[in-house]
Chains A and B, each alone.
Chain A
Amino acid sequence: MSTETLLEVKDLRVHFPTGDGLVKAVDGLSFTVDRGDTFGIVGESGSGKSVTNLTALGLTDRNAANITGEVLFKGRDLLKLGKEDLRKIRGKEMAMIFQDPFSCLHPFYRVGDQIVEAILCHDKIPKKQAEQRTYDLLGAVGIPKPKERFRDFPHQYSGGMRQRAMIAMAMAHNPDLLIADEPTTALDVTVQAQILDLIERVKTEFDIGVILITHDLGVVSEVANKVMVMYAGRAVEMGTRDEVFGNPQHPYTWGLLESIPHVDHKGSKLVPIEGAPPSLIRTPNGCSFHPRCPHRFDPCDKDDPEIKDRGAGHPDACHLSAAEKTRVWAERQAPRTKAAS
């Protein structure tokens, strides 16, 4: 598999001026996604996960937001492209699927026609040919009897089938990058696994890169090979899956990990992260997580920690020293492991 860089985001800032003040939805975010990656972006609601990707696709209203930084897609800065150029990339080279497959398909159009439309808006081919391609796509994503289901309306599909149809639509032009924004959140657990499998299969078969946005660390740990943890519009920790899950560095990541129920830890209590995410208008001074952090110390409310490698081998944004982090995380782990044994 090649290691071609597909998407490179550099110091992206998306600020929305509102009547109450400047909402800093994304505030200085950098990351790269290579072909073959499943890049997991994790964070609470409002941490800027979705805005980042909608901005990359050019779906954020540019008049309503101040957008700075660079979003390099195969070397081209998407933020500098005009509307029409962006449209030609959307769906063709970069596709997106969304959280709620119930509302993402137009209820009045046949599922097949919606996919045909997606094909025809980038490829000038005869309609018959586009229909044939749609049958193939529907079949490829595991929809039985694609010729019959082509003529169905979205309400005749189950939730899982709708998400499959969305994936078929997204793959219509064999894009290089698939952005999946909470693709399994609205689905049953069993269907979730099927859809994740499908995304993985599609990734390998089509040799593409996938960005998987989710608030579910369990999902990320299953399929992502790289993970970025976001908090209040910024990345607080980033690395390979093994780095982030095996040697987590940021107290926020710890909090997320502790709040996942685990079969092995039966009997131990889930630990919620105290407090609520900060307002994106008045983010706290210093580290934006410090008001909720049990390990805060002197510089946390003054110095804003930048995200860099602090000795653990992968970057994080916490003032604690690497040694200190190892100690604290081991301490926090201890009662859970004990309860399990």
Chain B
Amino acid sequence: MTQYIVRRLLWSWVMLMLVAASVFAIFFILPGGSGKAGPGGHSSVAVMMAGKNPRPELVENIEQRLGLDQPVPVQFGRYIWRMVHGDLGYSYQSNQPVLEAILLRLPPTASLAIGASIIWLVLGVLIGIVSAIKRRSLFDRSSMVFALIFLSMPTFWLGLLAIFFFDGALDIYDVGSYVGITSDPVQWFKVMWLPWLVLALTDVAIYSRLVRSNLLEVQNEDYVRTARAKGLPEHSVIRHQLRSALTPVVTMYGLDLGILLGGAIITERIFNIPGIGAYAVHAVTSSNLPVILGTTVLAAFFVIVANLIVDIVYAFLDPRVVYK
């Protein structure tokens, strides 16, 4: 098991390097990136940073400072070298260390992701169980309808609709400024509950359908018949079913949470939450390579770690799974 984890961790470095390489490639190939496509054969980033009608020396100076005068492979090598040492470089715009800036924006993103994921997990599993037990009931059918509705609504539209409804019409929510949970938990909750709901509703739909269909599938298993044949009361029989039906949900939950920790771009933008997603969008619009790289690598890191945790947890949930 330990050997397996170590091997997986080593591989995750390879993954992160590949992710960084792709971002580098895209950045230098695309027009408007750091490639030498700007005026006078200079990097357009450097030109942009130098301001209006800059002297060529200034542009060259900036290029030198950012290392943009070096060939791309050298830049990439330097980046990876620093990344291995826990340094994600400095923002082109603010000169702030990227890692520091990201860590500063992690709490809002984590608040959003974890809060929303708890809502969708609890609601999704509960609705799924009830739908499966009371199959074809009014509850089952109406939850199916709601699932389809929320599944079909794009987040940006659902989010705006929610703001219009709860902030405008009902006036029980204020799109306001994010406050950390440590500084003011009540205000934190007041700001977060609507984004949680908006982010969670799509997944409530997916999870409840998943749990429902898993349960229905498991109901016909021979071991469920055995459980009944030995005279277990119905609630114990359902526990036997849940033990099998919920195991795949754990996998999905881990991966979804991992993805969300990398930033919920749309929801963060709509609700003005200063998280990693919002930071990444800003970086893309201003060609801020170190920040784009940092946020992407971090998002990939979360997904990789989530994957690893899910696989390890799975070995405990399913005794048939053995890692060597």
Taking a contact as CB atoms under 8 Å apart, the answer to whether B226 and A121 are in contact is no
Tell me how far the C-beta of B14 lies from the nearest C-beta in chain A, rounded to whole angstroms.
33
Interface string of B207-228 (1 = CB under 8 A from A): 0000000000000011101111
Taking a contact as CB atoms under 8 Å apart, the answer to whether A166 and B231 are in contact is no
Of B26-34, B38-46, B288-296, B312-320, the stretch lying at the interface with chain A is B312-320
Taking a contact as CB atoms under 8 Å apart, the answer to whether A106 and B223 are in contact is yes
Taking a contact as CB atoms under 8 Å apart, the answer to whether B222 and A104 are in contact is yes
Considering the complex, which residues of chain A in the window 82-119 have a beta carbon less than 8 Å from any beta carbon of chain B? 87-92, 95-96, 98, 100, 103-109, 117-118
Taking a contact as CB atoms under 8 Å apart, the answer to whether B223 and A104 are in contact is yes
Q: Which residues of B sit under 8 angstroms from A87, Cβ to Cβ?
A: 231-233
Tell me how far the C-beta of B227 lies from the nearest C-beta in chain A, rounded to whole angstroms.
7
Specify which of B228, B244, B317 is in contact with A106 (CB 8 Å cutoff). B244
Tell me how far the C-beta of A86 lies from the nearest C-beta in chain B, rounded to whole angstroms.
9
Tell me how far the C-beta of B287 lies from the nearest C-beta in chain A, rounded to whole angstroms.
51
Tell me how far the C-beta of A276 lies from the nearest C-beta in chain B, rounded to whole angstroms.
25
Taking a contact as CB atoms under 8 Å apart, the answer to whether A121 and B320 are in contact is no
Q: Which residues of A sit under 8 angstroms from B229, Cβ to Cβ?
A: 57, 59, 90-91, 95-96, 98
Specify which of A100, A121, A153, A155 is in contact with B230 (CB 8 Å cutoff). A121
Tell me how far the C-beta of A99 lies from the nearest C-beta in chain B, rounded to whole angstroms.
8
Taking a contact as CB atoms under 8 Å apart, the answer to whether A108 and B243 are in contact is yes
- Bin chain A's interface residue count: 20 to 34
Say if the beta carbon of B236 comes within 8 Å of chain A: yes
Q: Which residues of B sit under 8 angstroms from A26, Cβ to Cβ?
A: none
Interface string of A176-220 (1 = CB under 8 A from B): 000000000000000000000000000000000000000000000
State the CA gap A166–B320 with chains docked (Å).
19
Closest to A122 in B: B231
Tell me how far the C-beta of A123 lies from the nearest C-beta in chain B, rounded to whole angstroms.
11
Q: Which residues of B sit under 8 angstroms from A89, Cβ to Cβ?
A: 231
Taking a contact as CB atoms under 8 Å apart, the answer to whether A118 and B320 are in contact is no
Taking a contact as CB atoms under 8 Å apart, the answer to whether A98 and B231 are in contact is no
Say if the beta carbon of A169 comes within 8 Å of chain B: yes
Max chain A CB contacts within 10 Å: which of B221, B222, B226, B244? B226
> Interface majority SS on B: helix, strand, loop or mixed?
helix
B interface size (C-beta, 8 A): 21
State the CA gap A122–B230 with chains docked (Å).
9
Say if the beta carbon of B36 comes within 8 Å of chain A: no
Given A106-B227, A108-B317, are A100 and B222 neighbors across the interface (CB < 8 Å)?
A: yes
Max chain A CB contacts within 10 Å: which of B221, B226, B230? B230
Given A59-B225, A106-B243, A109-B243, are A117 and B236 neighbors across the interface (CB < 8 Å)?
A: yes
Q: Which residues of B sit under 8 angstroms from A108, Cβ to Cβ?
A: 243-244, 247, 317-319
Q: Which residues of A sit under 8 angstroms from B319, Cβ to Cβ?
A: 107-108, 153, 155
Tell me how far the C-beta of B242 lies from the nearest C-beta in chain A, rounded to whole angstroms.
11
Given A103-B221, A107-B320, A108-B318, are A166 and B226 neighbors across the interface (CB < 8 Å)?
A: yes
Max chain B CB contacts within 10 Å: which of A89, A117, A169? A117
Q: Which residues of A sit under 8 angstroms from B243, Cβ to Cβ?
A: 106, 108-109
Q: Which residues of B sit under 8 angstroms from A166, Cβ to Cβ?
A: 226
Say if the beta carbon of B269 comes within 8 Å of chain A: no
Closest to A90 in B: B231
Closest to A99 in B: B222
Taking a contact as CB atoms under 8 Å apart, the answer to whether B228 and A59 are in contact is yes
Given A57-B229, A95-B230, are A105 and B223 neighbors across the interface (CB < 8 Å)?
A: yes
Q: Which residues of B sit under 8 angstroms from A172, Cβ to Cβ?
A: 230
State the CA gap A155–B226 with chains docked (Å).
16
Taking a contact as CB atoms under 8 Å apart, the answer to whether A155 and B320 are in contact is yes
Tell me how far the C-beta of B247 lies from the nearest C-beta in chain A, rounded to whole angstroms.
8
Say if the beta carbon of B240 comes within 8 Å of chain A: yes
Other A-B contacts than A103-B222, A108-B244, 12 sampled, CB-CB below 8 A, are: A87-B231, A87-B232, A90-B228, A98-B229, A104-B226, A106-B244, A107-B320, A118-B230, A118-B231, A121-B230, A121-B236, A153-B320
A-B contact pairs, 28 of them (CB 8 A): A90-B229, A90-B230, A91-B230, A91-B231, A91-B232, A95-B229, A98-B225, A100-B222, A103-B223, A104-B223, A104-B225, A106-B227, A106-B240, A106-B244, A107-B318, A107-B320, A108-B243, A108-B318, A109-B240, A117-B236, A118-B230, A121-B231, A121-B236, A122-B231, A155-B320, A169-B226, A170-B230, A172-B230
Q: Which 8 A-B pairs have CB atoms at the shortest separation, nearest pair first?
A: A91-B231, A91-B230, A103-B222, A90-B231, A118-B230, A153-B319, A106-B223, A96-B229
